[in-house]
Structure 1
């Protein structure tokens, strides 16, 4: 049985407690990383993005353009830094472009 929270908890604190108790953080990270990719990369890159998957701390991005894949491969460390800054914590440690 879950422990009772005091009546003065914020909604955010209650939601965070539910996420931690039910071990939902990996699923939330998956959603957050997909949204961060979409926002940070813009329409040009998103047009060629087929799939974005977070497995562990590795982000797998499937692209429909080999030219774009080559361009983005030069900036992997910048992509990792941008996504982690957007999420305000270290979620992504590596990026694999396919």
Structure 2
């Protein structure tokens, strides 16, 4: 009978390695994380005016229903990009487009 190895791995580590190996899953999880990070960092007020958040080729595209809020957020684009990348833990967002 074969001997069992006593090495144990956490489910989080196993899922993380599985996601890293499967590129489609990785991209899907990145999109979910970015959407969650936007809501968390911007707060409920901004999130209520946000109709869509998507990542496309390093560009974070955020659709807002308020033109006043869009102009206000335009002044802090660099800070928003930095905060989202720090929250995610990767340098995914290179450009922010508010539409």
Q: TM-score under structure 1 normalisation?
A: 0.88
- What is the aligned partner in structure 1 of residue 37 from structure 2? 36
> How much has 1:7 moved relative to structure 2?
4.2
- What is the aligned partner in structure 1 of residue 15 from structure 2? 15
Q: Considering only aligned residues, what root-mean-square deviation do their CA atoms show, in Å?
A: 1.3
Residues matched between the structures, number: 93
Instruction: Provide the secondary structure at the position in 1 that maps to 2:54.
Output: strand
Distance between the aligned counterparts of 1:42 and 1:17, measured in 2?
A: 31
Runs of 4+ in 1 over 6 A off after TM superposition: none
Distance between the aligned counterparts of 1:22 and 1:85, measured in 2?
A: 23
Distance between the aligned counterparts of 1:21 and 1:86, measured in 2?
A: 22
> How much has 1:90 moved relative to structure 2?
1.0
Instruction: Report matched runs for 1:1-98 at 5 Å.
Output: 7-23=7-23, 24-98=25-99
- What is the aligned partner in structure 1 of residue 3 from structure 2? none
Structure 2 residue ranges without an equivalent (≥5):
1-5
Q: TM-score under structure 2 normalisation?
A: 0.87
Mark the CA change 1:11 to 1:47 in structure 2 (over 3 Å): closer, same or farther: same
Q: State the structure with more CA Rg.
A: 2
Q: Summarize deviations over 1:38-72 as a string: whole Å, max 9, x none.
A: 01101111111110011121100000011110110
Structure 1 residue ranges without an equivalent (≥5):
1-5
